[in-house]
């Protein structure tokens, strides 16, 4: 008897451990650390390819910027609805995030409901899938008694690759896992959802890895990696902005959704792909794609085990070569089965039950062998994830130049959660592959929607603060109509009133526009908003309107602008003297036209009493005085030449004349520069001057001085007015012109910075400096082809260190302020052209506006918005805008020439 036992013992010893044959059969799936390090290195290379703008398009691993720039900082708060679509379960949730105080994190309350996604919708039309999502959302609101009417901000976890240009713009790239709905590729998923749920409040779309990182980041600030090992697999992490080529800016960090499921789609893993992987891929609905995911993800592990067991059975290595139909059937071994087979205690029993369920009669060794197949397949999965994770951790460590890295990985997914051995195996291999990284794995206990809500909370805070500051600048059609009506009332009142009125409507004593017969040489002096120009204009015979024009520009120092009147005019006289010398016409006694860009009351063409300074001028002893006289006095004081100033005109009038020389239909002059103003040809009954038409300098900059614009004036405008040289005056000008737009922007930036929304809440001396933000910067910052980086360099020039987010906000503020300015000028112009049309009893008016001013000429969008607004508000007028080439100086010379011609005619 003893001998028999001895033989059977040796026989059994001789009989091979069933796992050995599996090891041999699946040696290609057993990856050693060397191979894992190699895979990790390959993945690092793929990450670089995906991040770089040169190679991203061809890269398999897309490295998609998630537009999440920080992990939770405890300031998040609010109530959100959340949708979690793409994992094994579709969930609708309500998430309440309460703000934490001090270091204590706030708490988050969640209510959730899981809803089935009918199989036919997974491969039906995309719109039907979103209609289903919408229906479930409505059911949820109903069930939880949440009002359907109230606008609930919504966070959307969408677990598929999307190319995002912001948190709320996500172009869908491709399906994976068990989703195949048609007609959504390349579409904006936020838009698709909004259309389905007919709601706008969709604040943010995030990938489930990103949401998982944020969820875990709420409890552990070291959490900067999100990992999903579920139906599919994927990882995200906080990358340095300087490496994220697809997004502007190199300051700070941004979360990148690696979409590592596609690792190997370009053949990078070909020497690790086994025949079983190829079979799984071939039988999948997206062959050639998501290669890494098909080696790792829960949707495929069971299938891999089935195919291995099937082949071993066919080769007689299992079940004595018996093969059941069930074993031949795709999907009959699930990943849950794989997990069950590997359970500590009941693993073998479960294996037996599962094989029995497949109509097989497994021997104990068969069970051990099949269990071992599951082990090898799921072990390879965790090993591959470890290799991928090691690549990410190494990259973060190198990015931050750290010898050791302490970091937390937020994890979710059924495989990681339900497979008994998976987490331990993964942690162990990761720590072996990256020994200098102290990695904590944090299981996301409440799914990804908490994280999605946190992202939405940040987006909401950013948006609401921004909205709070910017919405006052957004004028509705109705408001613009009102401004047009008030401008009209102001124009009429100014014409009627003898006394002071907000819109002064100053007669210019210019009756005729040029008719091309003007001849001779003229001197023109042009005191504008920022410069003084002296021009020599020569209207010659021969080809129509052959004009020679020479000019010299003189900047006016601030101390002259705001010094004494005598100094100012002495300075002008000195410039004239210099110009006359420069042109060699000192003693030519040329008839002179003087463009004076400030409100002057005129009693004739050659006199003009300054009513009040505007823009940056405040020279003393000038208001109430005749500006022609003051200039003549100054010239007399020089006692070296004299001038025959035949006309003094406003720059709007000069501009109108200069453009009328090109286009006889030009009867309006518009300046949108340092200041703003308009003139136009008014009918005879204007005031008591007997003639057919006279040009009226409206001085529309004063609209609102009587409070008629108080309902659109914002606190920022009030601050700018308070700090201006003429508080309470020129209210319309302070909303629309170059002298002030920069200041309005600065006030908004100050407010946003104080609100912690900008420049990290750091209010620098620079930002507090009036006039630091010149309007030319608006034009630069708003130019379409100026990348955010260049916006940053403009801000840098101003001594404002900014992040990319800051640049975006600054660009948005500039846009809102200049847009309002252009719209208001458009509304004002609509009032003027409609008045002229009605003056003439016309149903339709064709008219040209001569325009000048740096804001109109140099700002990238101002002119276009002004045109569009005027068009919409004065539909019966076809208005052509003609930018003036030579400025109003030429216009002043023309007026002087017309003056001379008319004087001649009157004599004849």
Neighbour tally for 105: CB within 10 Å: 16
- Tell me: does residue 507 bind ligand BGC (CB under 6 A): no
Closest to ligand BGC by CB, 160 vs 579, is 160
User: E strand or H helix at 251, and its extent?
Assistant: none
Per-residue H/E/C for 65-115: ECCCCCCCCCCCCEEEEEEEECCCCEEEEEEEECCCECCECCCEEEEEEEE
Taking CB under 6 A as the criterion, the residue among 40, 134, 159, 780 binding ligand 0WK is 159
What does the alpha-carbon distance between residue 53 and residue 71 come to, in Å, rounded to a whole number?
Answer: 25
123 as an active site residue: the answer is: no
Closest CB to ligand BGC: residue number: 675
Q: Which of residues 151-210 bind ligand BGC (CB under 6 A)?
A: 159-161, 176-177, 207-209
**Candidate ranges 86-94, 376-384, 500-508, 564-572; the one touching ligand 0WK (CB under 6 A):** 86-94
For 641-657, give one letter per residue: b (16+ CB within 10 A) or e: bebebbbbbbbbbbbbb
Q: Which residue has the tokens 């479930």?
A: 136
8 Å CB contact between 814 and 862 = no
Residue 115 or 319: which CB sits closer to ligand 0WK? Answer: 115
Asked if 667 contacts 836 with a C-beta cutoff of 8 angstroms, the reply is: yes
Question: 168 touches which of ligand BGC, ligand 0WK, none (CB within 5 to 8 A by kind)?
Answer: none
Task: Judge whether 664 and 656 are in contact, CB under 8 Å.
Answer: no
Of how many residues is the chain composed? 908
Exposure of 278 by Cβ count < 10 A (0-12 exposed, 13-18 middle, 19+ buried)? Answer: middle
Q: Is 717 in the site for ligand 0WK (CB under 6 A)?
A: no
Q: Between 370 and 739, whose beta carbon lies closer to ligand 0WK?
A: 739
For residues 594 and 789, give the distance between their C-alpha atoms in angstroms, rounded to a whole number. Answer: 44
Place of tokens 């990681």: 416
Select from ligand 0WK, ligand BGC, none the partner in contact with residue 383, using the beta carbon and a kind-dependent cut-off of 5 to 8 Å. none
Q: Which of 241, 671, 748, 830 touches ligand BGC by CB under 6 A?
A: 671
Which residues sit opposite 538 in a β-bridge?
521, 548
Q: How far is the CB of 557 from ligand 0WK (least distance, A)?
A: 16
Q: Which stretch binds ligand 0WK (CB under 6 A): 128-136, 179-187, 576-584, 848-856?
A: 848-856
In eight-state DSSP terms, residue 17 is P
Pick one of ligand 0WK, ligand BGC, none as the site partner of residue 224 (Cβ within 5 to 8 A by kind).
Answer: none
Shortest Å distance, C-beta 258 to ligand 0WK: 15
Q: Which of 733, 751, 782, 806 binds ligand BGC (CB under 6 A)?
A: 733
**Which residues lie across from 440 on neighbouring strands?**
408
Q: What is the DSSP letter of 843?
A: S
Task: Please classify residue 199 by burial: count the beta carbons closer than 10 Å to its beta carbon, then call 0-12 exposed, 13-18 middle and 19+ buried.
Answer: middle
Element (H, E) at 555: strand 546-555
Counting contacts by CB under 6 A, is residue 852 touching ligand BGC? no
> Exactly one of 378, 469, 652, 896 binds ligand BGC (CB under 6 A); which one?
652
The number of residues that bind ligand 0WK (CB under 6 A) is: 36
CB of 696 to ligand 0WK, least distance (A): 17
- Kindly state the smallest distance separating residue 652's Cβ from ligand BGC, in Å: 5
What residues numbered 225-254 form the site for ligand 0WK, per CB under 6 A? 228, 230-231
Q: Residue 261 binds which entry of ligand BGC, ligand 0WK, none, with Cβ cut-offs from 5 to 8 Å by kind? A: ligand BGC
Burial class of residue 542 (count of CB atoms within 10 Å of its CB; 0-12, 13-18, 19+): exposed
Number of residues binding to ligand BGC, judged by CB under 6 A: 35
Q: What is the C-alpha separation between 809 and 530, in angstroms, rounded?
A: 29
Of the candidate residues 28, 70, 88, 324, the single one contacting ligand 0WK (CB under 6 A): 88
Q: Which of 651, 717, 721, 806 is catalytic?
A: 651
What are residue 157's phi and psi, to 5 degrees?
-90, 115
Closest separation between CB of residue 19 and ligand BGC, Å?
31
Q: What is the DSSP track for 637-691? A: HHTS---EEEEEE-HHHHHHHHHHTT-TTEEEEEEESSSEEEEEEEETTSTT--S
Give the nearest distance from C-beta 410 to ligand 0WK in angstroms.
11
d(CA 493, CA 487): 10
Q: How far is the CB of 170 from ligand BGC (least distance, A)?
A: 11
Token reading at 559: 């101390």
The stretch among 105-113, 224-232, 272-280, 791-799 that binds ligand 0WK (CB under 6 A) is: 224-232
| Cβ distance to ligand 0WK smaller for residue 94 or 231 | 231
The answer to whether 599 contacts ligand 0WK (rule: CB under 6 A) is no
Q: Which is nearer to ligand BGC, 234 or 284 (CB)?
A: 234
CA dist., res. 572 & res. 568, Å (int):
6
Question: Is 548 labeled as catalytic in the residue annotation?
Answer: no
**Interface with ligand BGC in residues 595-614 (CB under 6 A):** 597-599, 614
Closest distance to ligand BGC from the beta carbon of 908 (Å): 34
Rounded Cα gap, residues 512 and 523, in angstroms: 20
Q: How far is the CB of 648 from ligand BGC (least distance, A)?
A: 12
CB distance 134 to 197 below 8 Å: yes
Beta-sheet pairing, 437-443 with 405-412: parallel
Question: In the stretch 166-205, what mask flags binding to ligand 0WK with x, by CB under 6 A?
Answer: ----------------------------------------
Instruction: Decide if 597 is catalytic.
Output: yes
Which part of the chain contacts ligand BGC (CB under 6 A), choosing from 92-100, 227-235, 577-585, 879-887? 227-235
DSSP structure class, residue 206: E
Q: Per-residue x/- marks for ligand BGC, 525-564, CB under 6 A?
A: ----x-----------------------------------
| Residue 490 touches which of ligand BGC, ligand 0WK, none (Cβ within 5-8 Å per kind) | none
Q: Distances from the Cα of 411 to the Cαs of 214, 217, 226, in angstroms? A: 11, 11, 6
Task: Tell me which of 381, 597, 658, 818 is the catalytic residue.
Answer: 597
- Told to check if 157 binds ligand 0WK by CB under 6 A, we report yes
d(CA 247, CA 164): 10
Which of 801, 789, 845, 853 has the alpha carbon at shortest distance from 825?
Answer: 853
Distance from C-alpha of 579 to C-alpha of 581, rounded to nearest angstrom: 5
**Under the rule (CB under 6 A), what is the footprint of ligand 0WK?**
84, 86-89, 157, 159, 208, 211, 228, 230-231, 298, 412-414, 447-448, 526, 528-530, 595, 597, 651, 654, 671, 673-674, 738, 852-854, 887-889
| Residues within the interface to ligand BGC (CB under 6 A) | 86-87, 159-161, 176-177, 207-209, 228, 230, 232-234, 259, 261, 293, 529, 597-599, 614-615, 650-652, 671, 673, 675-677, 699, 701, 733
Catalytic positions, written as ranges: 533, 597, 651
């Amino acid at each position: 008897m003893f001998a028999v036992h001895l033989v059977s013992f040796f026989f059994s010893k001789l009989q091979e451990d069933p796992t050995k044959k599996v090891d041999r059969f699946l040696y290609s799936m057993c990856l050693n650390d060397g191979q894992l390090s190699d895979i990790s290195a390959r993945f690092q290379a793929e990450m670089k390819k995906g991040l770089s703008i040169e190679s991203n398009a061809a890269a398999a691993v897309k490295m998609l910027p998630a537009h999440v720039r920080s992990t939770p900082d405890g300031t998040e708060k609010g109530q959100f609805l959340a949708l979690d679509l793409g994992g094994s379960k579709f969930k609708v949730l309500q998430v309440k995030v309460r703000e934490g105080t001090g270091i204590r994190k706030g708490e988050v309350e969640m209510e959730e409901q899981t809803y089935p996604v009918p199989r036919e919708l997974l491969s039906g039309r995309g719109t039907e899938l979103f209609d289903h999502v919408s229906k479930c959302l409505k059911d949820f609101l109903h069930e939880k008694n949440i009002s359907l009417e109230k606008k609930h901000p919504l966070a959307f976890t969408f677990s598929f690759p999307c190319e995002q240009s912001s948190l709320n713009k996500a172009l869908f790239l491709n399906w994976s896992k068990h989703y195949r709905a048609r007609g959504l590729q390349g579409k904006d998923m936020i838009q698709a959802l909004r259309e389905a749920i007919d709601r706008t409040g969709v604040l943010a779309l995030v990938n489930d890895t990103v949401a998982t990182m944020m969820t875990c980041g709420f409890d552990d600030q070291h959490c900067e990696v999100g990992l999903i090992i579920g139906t599919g697999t994927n990882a995200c992490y906080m990358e340095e902005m300087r490496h994220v080529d697809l997004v502007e800016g190199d300051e700070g960090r941004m979360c990148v959704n690696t979409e590592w499921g596609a690792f190997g789609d370009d053949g990078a893993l070909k020497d690790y792909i086994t025949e079983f992987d190829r079979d799984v891929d071939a039988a999948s609905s997206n062959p050639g794609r998501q290669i890494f995911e098909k080696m790792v993800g829960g949707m495929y592990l069971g299938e891999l085990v089935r195919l291995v067991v099937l082949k071993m059975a066919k080769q007689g290595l299992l079940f004595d070569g018996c093969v059941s139909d069930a074993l031949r059937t795709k999907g009959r071994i699930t990943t849950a089965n794989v997990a069950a087979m590997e359970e500590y205690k009941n693993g073998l029993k479960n294996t037996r039950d599962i094989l029995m369920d497949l109509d097989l009669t497994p021997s104990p060794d068969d069970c051990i062998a099949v269990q071992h197949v599951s082990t090898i397949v799921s072990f390879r999965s965790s090993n591959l994830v470890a290799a991928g994770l090691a690549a990410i951790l190494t990259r973060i460590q190198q990015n931050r130049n750290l010898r050791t890295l302490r970091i937390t990985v937020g994890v979710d997914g059924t495989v990681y959660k339900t497979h008994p051995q998976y987490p331990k195996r993964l942690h162990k291999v990761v720590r072996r592959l990256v020994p200098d990284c102290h990695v904590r794995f944090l299981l996301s206990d409440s799914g990804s929607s908490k994280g999605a809500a946190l992202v939405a909370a940040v987006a909401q805070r950013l948006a609401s603060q921004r909205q709070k500051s910017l919405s006052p600048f957004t004028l509705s059609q109705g408001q613009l109509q009102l401004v047009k009506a008030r401008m009209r009332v102001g124009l009429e009142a100014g014409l009627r009133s003898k006394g002071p009125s907000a819109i002064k409507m100053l007669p210019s004593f210019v009756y005729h526009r040029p008719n091309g017969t003007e001849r001779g040489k003229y001197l023109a002096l042009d005191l504008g908003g920022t410069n003084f120009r002296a021009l020599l204009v020569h209207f010659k015979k021969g080809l129509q309107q052959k004009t020679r024009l020479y000019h010299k520009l003189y900047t006016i120092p601030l101390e002259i602008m705001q010094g004494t009147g005598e100094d100012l005019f002495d300075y002008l006289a000195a410039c004239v003297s210099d110009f006359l010398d420069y042109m060699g016409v000192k003693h030519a006694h040329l008839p002179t036209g003087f463009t004076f860009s400030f409100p002057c009351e005129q009693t004739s063409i050659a006199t003009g009493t300054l009513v009040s300074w505007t823009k940056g001028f405040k020279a003393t002893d000038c208001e109430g005085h005749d500006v022609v006289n003051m200039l003549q006095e100054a010239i007399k004081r020089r006692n070296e030449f004299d001038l025959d100033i035949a006309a003094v005109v406003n720059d709007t009038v000069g501009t109108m004349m200069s453009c009328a020389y090109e286009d006889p239909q030009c009867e309006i002059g518009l300046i949108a520069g340092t200041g703003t103003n308009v003139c136009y040809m008014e009918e005879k009954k204007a005031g008591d001057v007997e003639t057919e038409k006279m040009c009226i300098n409206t001085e529309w900059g004063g609209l609102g001085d009587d409070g008629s614009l108080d309902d659109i004036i914002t606190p920022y405008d009030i601050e700018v007015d308070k700090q201006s040289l003429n508080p309470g005056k020129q209210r319309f000008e302070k909303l629309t012109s170059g002298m002030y737009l920069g200041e309005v922007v600065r006030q908004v930036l100050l407010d946003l910075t104080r609100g912690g929304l900008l420049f990290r809440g750091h209010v620098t001396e620079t930002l507090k400096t009036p006039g630091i933000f010149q309007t030319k910067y608006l034009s630069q910052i708003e130019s379409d082809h100026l990348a955010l980086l260049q916006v940053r360099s403009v801000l840098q020039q101003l001594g404002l260190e900014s992040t990319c987010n800051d640049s975006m906000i600054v660009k948005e503020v500039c846009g809102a302020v200049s847009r309002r300015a252009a719209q208001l000028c458009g509304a004002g112009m609509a009032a003027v052209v409609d008045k002229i049309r009605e003056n003439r009893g016309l149903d339709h008016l064709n008219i040209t506006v001569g325009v000048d001013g740096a804001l109109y000429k140099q700002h990238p969008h101002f002119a276009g918005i002004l045109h569009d607004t005027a068009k919409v508000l004065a539909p019966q007028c076809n208005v052509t805008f003609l930018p003036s080439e030579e400025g109003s100086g030429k216009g002043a010379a023309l007026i002087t020439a017309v003056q001379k011609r008319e004087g001649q005619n009157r004599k004849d």
